[in-house]
Every structure is written in structure tokens, then in C-alpha cells.
Chains A and B, each alone.
Chain A
Amino acid sequence: MIAEPPRDLIGQYGITLAEFDRILSLLRREPNELELALFGAMWSEHCCYKSSRRLLGALPKEAPQVLVRAGEENAGVVDVGEGWAIAMKIESHNHPSAVEPYQGAATGVGGIVRDVFTMGARPIALLNSLRFGFPDEPRSRYLLARVVAGIGDYGNCLGIPTVGGEVFFHDSYSGNPLVNAMCVGLLRHEDLVRSAASGEGNVLLLLGNATGRDGIHGATFASANLDGDGLDRRPNVQVGSPFLEKLLIEACLELLEKDLLVGLQDLGAAGLTSSSVEAASRAGSGVELEVTAVSRSETHMTPLEIMLSESQERMLAVVEPDRVPEVRAVLERWGLRSDAIGRVIAEPLVRVCEEGQVRAEVPVAALTDGAPAYDWPAMPGPLAGPASLPTDPLELLAHPNICSKRWVYRQYDQTVQASTVATADADAALVLLPGGRRAIALCTDGNARGDDPYLAGALAVCEAARNVSCTGARPWALTNCLNFGSPERPQGSWELRRAIHGLAAAAQALDIPVISGNVSLYNEASEGGARGAAAVAVTAVLPTPVVGMLGLLDDVERRGSIAFKAAADLVVLLGPATGPLDLGLEARVQKACRDAIGRGLLNSAHDCSDGGLLVTLAESCILGSVGATLEPELDYLDESPSRIVVSLSPERLPELRAMATGLPLTILGRVGGDRLRIPRVCDLSVEEMRDAWQHGLERFL
């Protein structure tokens, strides 16, 4: 062991002085530089959630349908009936996307796809949730265009449909865009794979890409603010190859189908370090690695660089020694490399060797359970809140935060796998389950409207569940991505805490388990903070909890859609005309909508959110190519929650009333004609509304 105390290096590995003392007490000696780097990676917020772990305990994680709970594995898994299960997770790739938007976004998709097929699931859908500065800024337009191209090129090549998502613009995201990618996979219950590195003597096979210097320190990079230096950190960003990933998916699913693997783990943040430590930790075992056995794409790489590399498209497989030839035969057929880089050992240690010489030896538990957890002091502070929306109806429909995101989604293959029933311009996407009678509903939602982070958390859950309910599907499980500024600022800590409480309260009230998630902190940029210059001011992103929702639809023939269908149908508001969030009411409105769709009462159902009733009604008209005439004088721009606009044949109204007993229900008017007429608000043709709404974003690009 190297005896030289590396205290001068600790900052480089994102370790504080207090944490260094913790390492000393865990090891009962000084770590060498490689060991320090292992701690730095494993103790980064990205890997150990040290600033959020305690808060996340508030989220409801249990439900009968949950097969793999949040935090247990790479992705959560729920039963969806008939022997099928869904694995899903959402994850951020914010910092890399701020620096190199194309590769940052592409590798974000690659990472989340690996998390899902690692579970033995075939990826069947992708979604994404994006935040940028307002598109009147050239850099925001550049980031939008490159992020969208990166997501599209990666997912399209994999043959996984991108079926939904959202894009929202606000100045707080100018220096720090948010790129959250979600993947959904389908598997049979019996095919569920664990990532544990169990069985002493089993071989660790590293599959896929060669290891280079790309992305070294990615995990610590993701856990720091973006300052002027941040933009010079392009070497911290990985480069993706969707082609290689596609081969890895097919090869790994074939290996799993042939039952050749003991465990499977993807290499994500902190590369080989976190994947081997996590796999060992889950099995209660240890691992011994030989770094010179790792195929490298660059010369003279040190053990430290090999252990921390975040080269993409790599998987770690745990294989019984006598199965290795069979495994290699499958991999060779797919043209994939496999290196036997180590083995499972009984002692619960991570031992890193270089040509047989031990370079690092650390107890697994010190790296995982030993990680610190912080309760940062929290204090409320003022929130900017989004700029208000225009009140002119056509300007409102053309506003980048309201208009159709066609410019974005037409770059994403939405129909590959031939199972997409509904996609963009729907409240939630519908993807058929095998058999073709049942479907899953999917959407992502974030809400930065509230000036209270609690509401941002609660509304993200409510809106996502409401969107799913508008298709007729029952909300079944959710995944979440928490995008916040630094928790080390009292306001940042308060925002995170409040948002998690809101999220937890809504998930509990709507009875939806949280099955996976990701926390992205330090989403801050310093203005004018070019390298060497003093930072002028730090801008944190609006508190942005994002929810990815899974719903289950039993009969896809009975599904809800946004479009008005038939002239003379009644337009009815389900839910209050206005009012604060009431979680009990929210749950009952959603249930009434689902039940009404299930009984075939409704011809359309559309969630009311940004832009209020006016936008909801206009979208139902545009997508149905039919007008509507409304009667009551209401505030049509009010954005109160718990509201759904439905249309139905007048003779079904008594049935709807019976079903919605005790719920506010307002008859708004009738479908018909080719204009949307609202007294004192608007009288517009469907075509002029369509033109404003469909081309709103393109006007900037």
C-alpha cells in the first residue's frame, strides 16, 4: 500500500475533509489514491444519494403489484398481469447535456435502456422530459436541437419507440438544461434477473465496448455545480454508440433466455467501480478485479482511469466458470468483446489488482453502507416561478410551453415495434401488451407552476396520474426524477425536502407505488462565471420533480382520447371550476373519468393543465377537427388541478352524473361547427387555432 497521505487530492475526488475522516475510521488506515477515487465515486450524490437518501424514505414504495422495489436493483419492476411484468426507470443526464448536448442526451438514453434490459426486460418504450431556457436565446435553441437529435438518433437506432414526453422552457434552465430519459421494458415474471455477483469463483465478464478515458469522474462531475469550468469539461462527457448498444441488448437477452448468466449489471456512472461494488453488495460477497484484463481503447491507462472510466455500452456479467465458453459463443455471434476481468470472492472486499499486484482493497460495505447521509439545513426562499402566459388565445396556443411539440417528436420513431396505439398529442401514450387486448399507458409530467415546491411535487404526480386516467388506464406505478439546485444552500435543501413531501403525499393519496427514481442535484449555473472570472450570480433551476407514470388499461377498445368526435355531443367539465389542490377530490375525479371511459360513456377526455380550459378545449377541437360552443362565463385561463374536460352523447349524461355523485360537474356546451366559441373569450376557426398551435415552436427554430 502507498503510505503517502493524499489529503491534497481529496477535493479532486469530491471528498470533503469530514468525509475523509470517515474514510480513515472505516479503513482504520489512510487510503491510497485509487482507494480514495473509489470512495469519491461511490460516495458521490449520483451513486449514494447522500443528500436525499433520508428524505426519499418518505416515498410510498410498497404495493401488491411491486415485484422489485425502488433502490433494490437497476430498475423497479411491477406485475401487469397474465404473467407479464414491466421494468421502468427515469434518469437524468443534465450535466453532460449542458456541456455536449448531442452526446449527453444520447448517452442518457443509452444508460437508462441498459438499466432496464439488465433486469431481463426487452425495452418497449422510451419517454423524455426536457427543460431549456426560453427559445428566444440562441444557445437554448442550439441545446434543444442537439438534445432532440441525440435522443432521436440513439433511440431510433435501437428500435425502441419514443412514445411520449414533454418540453418546457424557462429562463432558469438557460445555463443548466434538464434531460430526463425514461425507459420501459417488458418481461415474463420468470425471466426477472438480479444483478448480484454471487457464487464464489464465478467469473466476471465485461461485455461490449472497450474502456477509454471518456467520462472519468462523471459521477463527481454530475454532483457539482456547472460553472465556467463546467463547460470546459467536455472530456467528462461520454460518447455513445447506439449500434453497439443494440447488439448488447440482443446478446444479453439471448444469454438470459438461455439461462447462461448468474447476474447482470450495467456500467453507468462511476463505471466499473459502481457496477462491481453494487453487484458485490447485493450478493453480500466480494469481487477481485484485474485491470490489465480490461480491453482498453487508449494506451497507458492507469488502474484508476480504468476503474472510473464511463465508456458507454458496457455490461458486467456474472458467469459460472464452466458456462463461459457458451457465453462467449453467443457474444461472438453478435460480434461482441468479452473480457474475463475478475471473479467473485467470499470476503466482502473490492480488490483491484494490476498484473496480480493489489492496488486497492476496500470493504464493500465501507463504500456502500458506509456512505455518509446528510440533512442539510433547510430554509424557505422566494421562487421565480415561470413567466406568465399570454392571454390572447392565439398567442397562448402558439406559446412554446403550450403549442404542439411536433417539431420535436417527428424526429423520434414512435411506431417501431408495431404496438403504439396512441403517442404524441395524447394525454398519455398507449402501448399494446402481448395479446393485443390490454395496453399500458405512459407519460411524464413535471410542474414548475407552483411557487411552492410541495405543490410542484404533488402536481407532478397528480397530472401524470390524471393524464393516464384520461386514457381510461389505472395508474399502476411511478418513477421519479428529482432535479434541483445545490442542497448545500438552505433554500435548495428546503426545495428538495418540500417537493419530496408533496410527491409522497400525492402518491399516497392516489395509491401509486414509487418503484424507481433518480436524484439530480447541483443543477445550477453561474452567470458570467467564465474561467478565471469571479462568478456573478448563481442561478438554480426551478425545483423540477418529474414523474414518469405507468397505467394499465384492460380493454384497449375502451380507451379515452383527446379529440372531440361527434357534433352535438355535450362538453362537460369533470371537477371544480377553480380551487386549490385537494388530493381526495383529485383521486375521485380521476376514478370517475376512468370508470366512465370503461363503461363506454365518453367520446373524449382531456386533462386540464397549463393554459387552463381554453387550451384544453382548443386541443380537443384541433385534434378532432371540429368546433365547439361554450356557454358559462368562467375563467378559462385558470389552471386549477383536478379537472378533466369530457364529451359525450347527451343521452349518456344521467349515467355520468350517477357515476360522478358528489363531484363538481359543469355542462360547458356542445361540440359542433368549425369554430371554438367562448363568450367574451374567443371566436376562432379550428384551422387558425391549428396553425398557431402546430407551428408555435417552429417559429423560433
Chain B
Amino acid sequence: MKFGIVVFPGTNCERDTAAAVEIAGGQAELVWHADDSPLQRFDGLILPGGFAHGDALRAGAIARFSAVMPRVMELAQTGRPVVGICNGFQVLVECGLLPGALLRNDSLQFRAEWVHCRVEVSAPPLTEGIPVGTLLYMPVAHGMGNYCEDERSPLGGETLVALRYCDANGDAAAAANPNGSAGNIAGIVRGNVFGLMPHPERAVSPLLGSVDGLALFKSLTRSLVAA
């Protein structure tokens, strides 16, 4: 199974993400933002982290107008998984594939630290086979990760909270929230579209401090085998 990794000018996690897909048993190919050819050759897409267009205006605000984006939306409509990590999550929110907005961190500072996230949904594409309540240990690194709900499309309908920041005991405490996001939200899922702020591709080996991110990539490749 093959994943397209979408690269915008300023994306900087494409190689790490491709490597993680490969460790999980998938294949990865980079897709350039100016490429408007169909993406049907891919079984799924990942929008990786970085600073597309230098976060000008707002993170993801310019990337959503890239030539590749209509093709991304098209593929999402086929039901194939589309995952946005960090800046990729911001792009998915900007283009409307996911509801809500990602505001500046409440500290007004960039936050780079390891966090625990509690799995809230055990379902494809990213958390299938990972029981609800499982704690995942992964790094965050962002300046705009403060998730804000869209009242017109409230969570709990077709969009679900998939990951919440929590402490080592699994409590979604305020002190465990790195950016002030509503309800400690770290990731959300709407059907086959998943967005998360933490970086699972940086938690794929005991040497890096955790293998919990790999569990998400394995779920992703597994969900394709099943489909």
C-alpha cells in the first residue's frame, strides 16, 4: 500500500513521515504542492508537519490554495485515509476537511515537549486496534495548536475527539495541556480524515524515547489491508 506525502514549500517533516510509514510496512512517495494530477494511485495521503509558506497569514492559510488541494479533497471523498500531522492538521482545518480552528498557543510561545495523549476513539484510520484509554507518549512542537471548536459543526456529531492531552495517569488535566486547546484536544477524526498536533513520526523507536507513534502508523497501514 502506498501513501502520498504532500510537500508544500516550508514543509519540514516529510522525510520523517515517509520513514515512519516505511517502518510500519507501507510505502511512501512525496507529492509536490504544485502538482494537480489525480492522486488515485495512492491508498491514502498524509499532510506532514512544517511551516507551509512560512505560516504567513495563519498556519495553513495559504497552503489550502495549492494546486494539489482539490486533489486531496477528491481523494478524501473516496473514503481513503487523509491524515494531517501538526501543520498538516492546520491545513486540513483551513481547507474545511476538518472543523474548527487552531489558534496560537495560550502561552504565546512555541511549545516543544513530550506529552501523553489519551486515545478517545478506537477506529480507523489511525487508532484502530488501539483501545480507548490507551496513553500514547509523543512529542509536540508547534506555535499554533490551540484547538478551538466550530459551533456550526460541534464535536460529537460526525467529528469526534480522537486524542486528548493528559498527564501520566491519564487525567486530561489543565497542567497537561501544552497549548490551551479546548477540552485538551490533541487530535480529531471525521470519518476517514484525521488531524493531530503531536508528531507520531518522531516516536517510532525506543532510541527516540517512544514507539507509541509507530502504533498509529501501524493502525493506518493495517486499516488499508483490511479495506
User: Which A residues lie at the B interface, using CB under 8 A?
Assistant: 149, 152-153, 156-159, 241-244, 246-247, 333-335, 409-421, 432, 436, 556
Query: Taking A246-B12, A411-B110, A412-B112 as contacts, is the C-beta distance between A420 and B50 under 8 angstroms?
Result: no
Among B19, B112, B113, B202, chain A packs the most CB atoms within 10 A around the CB of: B112
| Residue B20 interfacial (CB < 8 Å) | yes
> Which of A152, A335, A416, A436 sits near B13, CB closer than 8 Å?
A416
Query: Residue-by-residue, is B7-39 near A (CB-CB < 8 Å gives 1, otherwise 0)?
Result: 001101101100110000000000000100000
Query: Taking A242-B51, A243-B51 as contacts, is the C-beta distance between A415 and B202 under 8 angstroms?
Result: yes
In contact, A410 and B53 (Cβ under 8 angstroms): no
Query: Taking A156-B110, A418-B208 as contacts, is the C-beta distance between A247 and B20 under 8 angstroms?
Result: no
In contact, A157 and B141 (Cβ under 8 angstroms): no
Q: How far is the CA of A156 from the CA of B112 in the complex (A)?
A: 10
Within 8 Å CB of B154, what residues of A?
none
Q: A243-B56, A415-B199, A418-B202 are in contact. List 19 more A-B contacts (CB 8 A).
A: A156-B112, A157-B10, A157-B55, A159-B12, A242-B51, A246-B9, A246-B51, A247-B9, A409-B112, A410-B109, A410-B113, A411-B109, A411-B110, A414-B112, A414-B139, A415-B208, A416-B16, A418-B201, A432-B207
Q: Which 4 A-B pairs have the closest CB atoms?
A: A159-B12, A243-B54, A413-B141, A418-B16
Q: How far is the CA of A156 from the CA of B12 in the complex (A)?
A: 9
Least CB distance from A153 to B in Å reads 7
Which residue of the partner chain A has the closest CB to B49? Answer: A416
In contact, B13 and A334 (Cβ under 8 angstroms): no
Within 8 Å CB of A556, what residues of B?
207
Within 8 Å CB of B111, what residues of A?
410-411
Least CB distance from A35 to B in Å reads 38
Within 8 Å CB of A335, what residues of B?
9
Least CB distance from A570 to B in Å reads 26
Within 8 Å CB of B207, what residues of A?
421, 432, 436, 556
Q: How far is the CA of A152 from the CA of B109 in the complex (A)?
A: 10
Query: Residue-by-residue, is B100-134 near A (CB-CB < 8 Å gives 1, otherwise 0)?
Result: 00000000011111000000000000000000000
Q: How far is the CA of A556 from the CA of B20 in the complex (A)?
A: 20
Query: Taking A415-B199, A415-B202, A418-B19 as contacts, is the C-beta distance between A410 and B12 under 8 angstroms?
Result: no
In contact, A417 and B16 (Cβ under 8 angstroms): yes
Query: Taking A413-B141, A415-B208, A416-B202 as contacts, is the C-beta distance between A153 and B13 under 8 angstroms?
Result: no
Least CB distance from A45 to B in Å reads 34
Least CB distance from A145 to B in Å reads 9
Q: How far is the CA of A149 from the CA of B139 in the complex (A)?
A: 19
> Which of B19, B110, B208 sits near A152, CB closer than 8 Å?
B110
Least CB distance from A554 to B in Å reads 14
Q: How far is the CA of A333 from the CA of B141 in the complex (A)?
A: 28
> Which of B9, B16, B55, B109 sits near A334, CB closer than 8 Å?
B9
Within 8 Å CB of B113, what residues of A?
410
Q: How far is the CA of A409 from the CA of B111 in the complex (A)?
A: 9
Within 8 Å CB of B16, what residues of A?
416-418
Which residue of the partner chain B has the closest CB to A152? Answer: B110
Within 8 Å CB of A436, what residues of B?
205, 207
Q: How far is the CA of A159 from the CA of B202 in the complex (A)?
A: 13
Query: Taking A153-B110, A410-B113 as contacts, is the C-beta distance between A418 and B10 under 8 angstroms?
Result: no
| Residue B204 interfacial (CB < 8 Å) | yes
Within 8 Å CB of A418, what residues of B?
16, 19-20, 201-202, 204, 208
Q: How far is the CA of A244 from the CA of B9 in the complex (A)?
A: 9
Within 8 Å CB of B20, what residues of A?
418
Query: Residue-by-residue, is B33-74 near A (CB-CB < 8 Å gives 1, otherwise 0)?
Result: 010000000000000011101111000000000000000000
Least CB distance from A326 to B in Å reads 18
Which residue of the partner chain A has the closest CB to B111? Answer: A410
In contact, B139 and A415 (Cβ under 8 angstroms): yes
Which residue of the partner chain B has the closest CB to A149? Answer: B109
Query: Taking A153-B110, A415-B141 as contacts, is the C-beta distance between A246 and B199 under 8 angstroms?
Result: no
Query: Residue-by-residue, is B183-216 near A (CB-CB < 8 Å gives 1, otherwise 0)?
Result: 0000000000000000101101101110000000
Which residue of the partner chain A has the closest CB to B205? Answer: A436
Q: How far is the CA of A421 from the CA of B49 in the complex (A)?
A: 20
In contact, B12 and A158 (Cβ under 8 angstroms): yes
